[in-house]
């Protein structure tokens, strides 16, 4: 299993850790952003991180499928399913009303144990939307797995979260952002519009 430091070094080595002023999908601001797509473009490195995450996921017991929200969770879900073995990898995406849905023929059956997968977890919002989708299908969301767990210290979610790496990155509300006060313009690097 890769250590926290090894995963962080991997992310830095591929240019995935960016410093500056970033507008997060939650609407909050941060001085650092982790662009996991920079890691995911390297299949061998992604496989290594997914294998490490699969070891951590053993704590959840039986897993029937993994589901990642599009866009960031697609490759991660596939690679983690492959690392877990005999587990289906799927992704959810937004329907016409903006709700998370399983499309493209993906289905989960009543009673299945589903692990929710993302590239980065900050607030857990997308993961919890997928958890509701799983529960609405009479299945059990067993937890959340991610490459980067960057939840602010003390943030609790109703599901257990495992990450290949834990990174403490400050998050500021737009009204209380020191980067805004210093006049540094922000960029919006994420996948949500």
**Domain with 155 in it: what CATH number?**
3.40.50.2020
Q: Is the pLDDT of residue 181 over 70?
A: yes
Whether 185 is in a domain gets the answer no
Residue 118 belongs to what domain range?
A: 4-171
Residue 187 forms part of a structural domain: no
Q: Give the side-chain half-sphere CA count within 13 A for 110.
A: 0
The residue-averaged pLDDT of 90-101 equals 93
Query: What's the total number of domains in the chain?
Result: 1
Say whether pLDDT at 193 is over 60: no
Q: How many angstroms separate the Cα of 118 from the Cα of each of 74, 85, 98, 110, 185?
A: 8, 18, 18, 23, 28
In a domain, 112, yes or no: yes
Closest listed residue to residue 25, CA positions, set 37, 13, 34, 14: 34
Find out whether 100 and 73 touch, Cβ atoms under 8 Å. no
| 30 and 170 Cβ atoms separated by less than 8 Å | yes
For residue 163, being part of any structural domain is answered with: yes
Report yes or no on whether pTM surpasses 0.95: no
Would 151 be classed as within a structural domain?
A: yes
Please, what's the b/e burial string for 117-131 (b: 16 or more CB within 10 A of its CB; e: otherwise)? bbbbbbbbebbbbbb
> What residues contact residue 100 under an 8 Å CB cut-off, 6+ apart?
69, 92, 93, 94, 126, 129, 130, 132, 133
- Does residue 57 belong to any structural domain of this protein? yes
Query: What percent of the chain stands above pLDDT 70?
Result: 98
Decide if 17 is inside a domain: yes
In percent, how much of the chain has pLDDT > 90? 87
Quick check: is 85 in a domain?
yes
Alpha helices (H) along 60-150: 73-84, 125-136
Provide the token pair at 42. Answer: 């390297």
**pLDDT-derived band of residue 119, with 50, 70 and 90 as boundaries?**
very high
Instruction: Identify which of 61, 93, 62 has the alpha carbon closest to the alpha carbon of residue 77.
Output: 93
Alpha helices in the chain (DSSP H): 4-13, 37-40, 43-57, 73-84, 125-136, 178-181
Residue 122, pLDDT score: 86
């Amino acid at each position: 299993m890769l250590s926290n430091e090894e995963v962080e070094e991997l992310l830095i080595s591929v240019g995935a850790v960016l410093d500056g002023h970033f507008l997060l999908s939650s609407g909050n601001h941060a001085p650092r952003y982790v662009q996991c797509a920079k890691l995911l473009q390297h299949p061998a490195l992604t496989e290594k991180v997914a294998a490490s995450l699969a070891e951590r996921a053993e704590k959840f017991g039986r897993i029937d499928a993994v589901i990642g929200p599009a866009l960031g969770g697609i490759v991660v879900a596939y690679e983690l399913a492959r690392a877990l073995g005999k587990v289906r990898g799927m992704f959810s995406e937004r329907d016409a009303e903006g709700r998370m849905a399983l499309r493209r023929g993906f289905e989960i059956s009543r009673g299945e144990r589903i692990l929710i997968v993302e590239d980065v977890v900050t607030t857990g919002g997308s993961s919890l939307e997928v958890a509701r989708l799983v529960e609405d299908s009479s299945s059990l969301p067993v937890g959340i797995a991610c490459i980067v767990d960057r939840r602010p210290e003390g943030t609790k979610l109703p599901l257990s979260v495992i990450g290949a790496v834990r990174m403490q990155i400050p998050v500021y509300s737009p009204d209380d952002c020191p980067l805004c006060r210093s006049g540094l313009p922000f960029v919006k690097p994420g996948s949500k519009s």
